[in-house]
Amino acid sequence: MTIIIYGAAASSFVRTTRMAAHEKGLTYELAQIGDGTLGALGSPEHRKLHPFGKIPAFTDGKVTLWESMAICRYMDEAYEGKPLQPADVLERARMEQWISAALDYVIPQAVRNYVQQYIFPSGPDGQPDMEKITAAKPKIREAMLIMDDQLKGRTWLAGDGVSLADLLYAPVLNYVGQMPDGMEAFDGCENLYRWWEAVSGLESFKVTEPDVPAGATQAAE
């Protein structure tokens, strides 16, 4: 059985999926999409793996899946290893709460309207669209303050150990912090910093650090 995760190392969603595989102790291959260009995402070959032409996609020889959280849940429940979803019903609900918040509120602002504006400038003369960046910054800051408040007395976002929620946020916040003024979003967030020390200290975080420039093709969805 060969597990293949399709996508680019620079993608935050791909990195989340890879971190989950590492946390489960799974061996996998990271496969490039076609020639590695954005155009390859729309190819008929890739759309057989991901019908919407996004990343990541996954196969283990038995099933083919697309979308990072679906892939991560499958790996967690289909394979033996450390559980990545809390057993307690309330803590599991907290995990789902944070995942929904990431997908609905945090990632659209932090990645699409902020990070990608620096990595793939779409403003005048090929410069970052500062209007979008300026509009996104207070929304990102609000999200960080909420996370900081909710992390009072906790190490992880849900449960007593790392969960899929932590793995979803880690690559995104890593990118935010790397942007020219990104660290401003975390000012004074002691609880969030404590969480960051824990999640960035994971071996899965360290070994999935992208070895390609942040501006490479096939970035986050």
Give the domain ranges of the chain: 3-84, 89-206
Structure tokens at 157: 């976002």
CATH match for 89-206 among 1.10.3720.10, 1.50.10.20, 1.20.1050.10, 1.10.10.10: 1.20.1050.10
Task: Give the CATH class of 3-84.
Answer: alpha beta
Label residue 16 by pLDDT band (50, 70, 90).
Answer: very high
pTM, two decimal places: 0.92
Q: Evaluate whether 171 touches 16 at the Cβ level (below 8 Å).
A: yes
Q: Amino acid identity of 197?
A: E
Residue 40's pLDDT is 84
Max CA pair span of the chain: 52
Residue 124's pLDDT is 82
Which stretches of 40-124 are assigned E, i.e. beta strand? 57-59, 64-66
Are the folds of 3-84 and 89-206 the same? Answer: no
The tens digit of pLDDT for each residue in 52-86 reads 999 999 999 999 999 999 999 999 999 999 999 99
Mean pLDDT of the residues in the chain: 92
Residue 214's pLDDT is 44
Chain-centre distance of CA 4, in angstroms? 18
Percent of the chain surpassing pLDDT 70: 95
Residue 34's pLDDT is 86
Residue 208's pLDDT is 98
What φ, ψ does residue 161 adopt, rounded to 5°? -145, 175
